[in-house]
Chains A and B, each alone.
Chain A
Amino acid sequence: MTTWELFTNGFSVLMDPYTFLMVVFAIVVGTIFGALPGVSATMAVALGLPFTYSMQPVPAIVFLVAVYCSSITGGSITAILFKIPGVPSSAPTTFDGYPMAQRGEAGKALGIALGSSAIGGLVSALAMLTLSPQLTQAALSFSPSDIFAITFMGLSILTCLDSKNILRTLISGLLGLLLACVGQDPMYAVQRLTFGSGELIAGLEMIPVLIGIFAVTEVLKQTKKRDKLTADEGTASVNTKMPSFREWWGIKWLLARCSVIGTIIGILPGAGATIASFLCYSSETKLSKHPEKFGTGIIDGIAASETANNAATGGAMVPLLSLGIPGGNAAAVMMSALVLKGVQLGPLLLVNQPQYLSATFASMVVTNILMVIVAIAIAKVFAQILAVPYSYLGPIIIMLAIIGSYATNMSIADVKIMAIAGVIGLIISACHFNSAALILGLVLGVICEGNFSRAYTISRANLVNMFARPVAGTLMVISLVLLVWPILSSLFRKNKD
């Protein structure tokens, strides 16, 4: 089948009015699920499963893809308005989105988030349709040492996150890496750093730590001596002014870069949307002409994170459809839906039944366009909540944080971890550490250590062999330069003074 035939074939699936209605329904519920803390994209797709029991396999995957894409987008709404990332992959969106909302520019922040989500999603959908076989081969050629090099590069950007405070940022990042080691180690199930606590054996889940350090710390910071303003009025009036065309034009290359990086990260099994958005956020900080503005509320930060996490959705579908290997947890749920329907997944699927690819593509295109309209409407409803007095809103955020961290694993231990993380968040800001760097370390820690360990074994404990590969070698050299240069240059500057 030619690309054009695939294209028309896919949209013909969506011409069926029932399927189309189901997709619209999926976008609405997907966005709301995504916006609710504790309901990750994976959970949203799992919640959509029962609806597919009565569907044919192709409409079923179309429906689930729509839920998946829109839930990743929905996460940005609460991230911007309340500093609670609705889905983990929206965590970097809070860095710039929340300060913007506090300045009363919530409308612009949401506009950028939704628009760049759509762009990321569309680019990756197009890549999936046209380049699936090539992308699959590329993903398969990534060895553990290549994946380690990618994540290591993400970590090496740490030193650039806050150029005035390199040492403290470095400490925060390392602390994050150390926290990722808590619990049974992923390779040999040996307990580490649990201090005898049974509740830590499962390790530190990312979601409770995220919610604690972002949302709870923020509420605690707002808990000050009687403040007439916060008690009786809303925090900010919501300005619904949308971003201008000029602002969009200014970030065109950023959008292009993040779409590509996001798609590639999405393809790698074990990585996914969260890692994509963190990596793009930190690499855009490095590439930016004004890195010091990141984190203070600029559109570049929001665009980087949201473009990347939606681009990863298309990436995640590539190995699922072309190999039968899910590119992430949400894709695994879709796989189980297809398996239940008797679809034989594997490399032969695309050869024998290309309509799965084309229909997924059509669904992603429609979802990413309609989603913007639906999400703006939903965001307006959520934004009304901001007008609620803080003495009501604060407690609700605390409760959402508790439910959100409980819901992921039905684990009381996670709620305790969340509460403690909230307190630690305060200490971190009192010590001028960098919570973004800490989270980056925590997110990348497990995948970084695991792949290093695997690469080490496969290359038979030979570090030179390990990185004597084109991708891994180049990336490692770049990362080392990135890591060492800011430290050296700050030393030189000091000497000159």
Chain B
Amino acid sequence: MKKFLCALLSVMLVLSFAAFASAEWKFERKVTIVCPWGVGGGADSTLRPMANLLKPILGQEVEIVNVTGGNGVTAVEYVYKQPADGYTYMLGTQSLFMQDIQGTTSMNFKDEFIPVARLVHAINVITASKKAMDRKGYKTFSEMIEYVKKNPFEVSVGMLTSTGLDGASLKQALEGLDILDVSYPSGSEMNSALVGGHIDIMVTGTDEIEGLIAAGDVVPLLALSEKRMKRYPDVECSVELGINSVLGPARGIFAKKGTPQEAIDVLVAAIEKASKDPQWQAFLVQGCYDERPGFAGPAEYGADCEKDYKLLSDYLKSEGVLKKDYYK
């Protein structure tokens, strides 16, 4: 009986696929987007409002599944095992690229996954602890650099794993300076260490520490971007100081290779529509994601990913930990 039912069902599935292959794609059951990081983190908080906006547009439930662990590798493996039927997608950032080229994923992420659309593109900021600043007596980024040059290995810098995106960003910005790298497993531990003055500066996105900056416990020193940030017009940006470092976390949707193009097209159109929604715009302002253009379609996002892949490969190569070289 069960066998018969299954057979019947598969026949029906095949027929329905055949019927829709030519016409425009229509999602028929819930769509799953896998988030490689935990509930409440930056990635998750970006994805949830987007999923809420996508629901009415797609006419189907959009479900967020948090598959955490291994700096995102567990999620990549999970999605890789799902069939590419257009119902499973995942959120990705440059951290996944770094795991890929460090050889921790079982497949080549770059070849097996395709960028679908970018949701947000944040700016990394170098911020300093007010307590430590008062103790060491520097007030601006340039003064801090002077201080580091005079006192090698005195200034400690917090980041989330030193072979992650933050590490790459930092290496570009503070090339050749003798600093103490201190890695933290979570943003909250790092933020409280910075406020408490146990570390001197850190590299991070601005979304989680806006309140601390407003209260004056944390002072932004340098925005790693092309232009000064709208919300901190007095803070210098890296390009104006001649520092070539504009790397910032970009969060986008990825699909497994082989996903029906029609499904991707419908999804991209839906994301584009949702990102014009005033609710999403308000979210961007609130999360400090309005400094750079957020939404980008497959072509533009794909090109950006390619660029970041190259840049990060070079970085890891210089650190001697590159395992997969796509640019041999």
Give residues in A with beta carbon < 8 Å to B: 42-43, 45-46, 49, 53, 139-144, 183-184, 186-191, 198, 201-203, 205, 269-270, 319, 323-327, 329, 331-336, 339-340, 342, 344-349, 409-411, 413, 446, 450, 454, 457-458, 460
One of B70, B153, B209 near A184 (C-beta < 8 A): B70
Q: Which residues of chain A have C-beta atoms less than 8 A from B281's C-beta?
A: none
Q: List 29 A-B contacts (CB under 8 A).
A: A46-B66, A140-B192, A141-B196, A142-B196, A183-B70, A184-B70, A189-B161, A189-B164, A201-B73, A201-B104, A202-B74, A203-B69, A269-B191, A270-B189, A325-B188, A325-B191, A329-B39, A332-B38, A332-B188, A336-B41, A339-B287, A344-B214, A349-B211, A409-B67, A409-B68, A411-B74, A454-B183, A458-B180, A458-B199
- Are A201 and B70 touching (Cβ within 8 A)? yes
One of A319, A336, A409 near B192 (C-beta < 8 A): A319
Sample of 18 further A-B pairs with CB below 8 A, known A143-B193, A346-B215 = A45-B39, A143-B198, A201-B73, A202-B69, A202-B73, A203-B70, A205-B69, A269-B188, A270-B189, A319-B192, A324-B208, A325-B212, A332-B40, A332-B188, A339-B45, A340-B45, A450-B184, A460-B180
- Are A202 and B70 touching (Cβ within 8 A)? yes
Question: Once the chains are docked, how many angstroms separate the CA of A298 from the CA of B48?
Answer: 45
Q: Which residues of chain A have C-beta atoms less than 8 A from B183's C-beta?
A: 186-188, 454
Q: Which residues of chain A have C-beta atoms less than 8 A from B189's C-beta?
A: 269-270
Question: Once the chains are docked, how many angstroms separate the CA of A270 from the CA of B71?
Answer: 17
Q: Which residues of chain A have C-beta atoms less than 8 A from B102's C-beta?
A: 189
Is residue B162 contacting chain A, with contact meaning CB distance below 8 A? Answer: yes
Residue of B102, B156, B186 with most partner-chain A CB within 10 A: B186
Is residue B176 contacting chain A, with contact meaning CB distance below 8 A? Answer: no
Q: Which residues of chain A have C-beta atoms less than 8 A from B212's C-beta?
A: 323-325, 346-347
Question: Once the chains are docked, how many angstroms separate the CA of A252 from the CA of B328?
Answer: 69
Residue in B closest to A205 when the chains form the complex, CB atoms: B69
Question: Once the chains are docked, how many angstroms separate the CA of A446 from the CA of B184?
Answer: 11
Residue in A closest to B34 when the chains form the complex, CB atoms: A410
Q: Which residues of chain A have C-beta atoms less than 8 A from B104's C-beta?
A: 184, 191, 198, 201
- Are A457 and B70 touching (Cβ within 8 A)? no
Is residue B210 contacting chain A, with contact meaning CB distance below 8 A? Answer: yes
Is residue B49 contacting chain A, with contact meaning CB distance below 8 A? Answer: yes
Is residue B163 contacting chain A, with contact meaning CB distance below 8 A? Answer: yes
Question: Once the chains are docked, how many angstroms separate the CA of A42 from the CA of B68?
Answer: 13
- Are A411 and B78 touching (Cβ within 8 A)? yes
* Given A187-B161, A339-B286: A325 in contact with B192 (beta carbons within 8 A): yes
Q: Which residues of chain B have C-beta atoms less than 8 A from A191's C-beta?
A: 104
Question: Once the chains are docked, how many angstroms separate the CA of A144 from the CA of B67?
Answer: 29
Q: Which residues of chain A have C-beta atoms less than 8 A from B78's C-beta?
A: 410-411
Residue in B closest to A191 when the chains form the complex, CB atoms: B104
- Are A342 and B286 touching (Cβ within 8 A)? yes
Q: Which residues of chain A have C-beta atoms less than 8 A from B52's C-beta?
A: 53
* Given A42-B38, A201-B73, A335-B40: A269 in contact with B153 (beta carbons within 8 A): no
Question: Once the chains are docked, how many angstroms separate the CA of A323 from the CA of B192?
Answer: 8
Q: Which residues of chain B have C-beta atoms less than 8 A from A410's C-beta?
A: 65, 67, 74, 78
Question: Once the chains are docked, how many angstroms separate the CA of A190 from the CA of B212?
Answer: 32
- Are B193 and A327 touching (Cβ within 8 A)? no
* Given A336-B45, A346-B214, A457-B156: A323 in contact with B193 (beta carbons within 8 A): no
* Given A202-B70, A342-B282: A329 in contact with B40 (beta carbons within 8 A): yes
Is residue B306 contacting chain A, with contact meaning CB distance below 8 A? Answer: no
- Are A324 and B211 touching (Cβ within 8 A)? yes
Q: Which residues of chain A have C-beta atoms less than 8 A from B181's C-beta?
A: 457
Residue of B66, B211, B215, B282 with most partner-chain A CB within 10 A: B211
Q: Which residues of chain B have C-beta atoms less than 8 A from A270's C-beta?
A: 185-186, 188-189
Question: Once the chains are docked, how many angstroms separate the CA of A269 from the CA of B70?
Answer: 20
CB distance from B169 to the nearest CB of A (A): 16
- Are A332 and B39 touching (Cβ within 8 A)? yes
CB distance from B140 to the nearest CB of A (A): 23
Q: Which of B39-98 contact A (CB under 8 A)?
A: 39-41, 44-45, 48-49, 52, 65-71, 73-74, 77-78
Is residue B182 contacting chain A, with contact meaning CB distance below 8 A? Answer: yes
CB distance from B179 to the nearest CB of A (A): 10
Residue in B closest to A147 when the chains form the complex, CB atoms: B189
CB distance from A42 to the nearest CB of B (A): 7
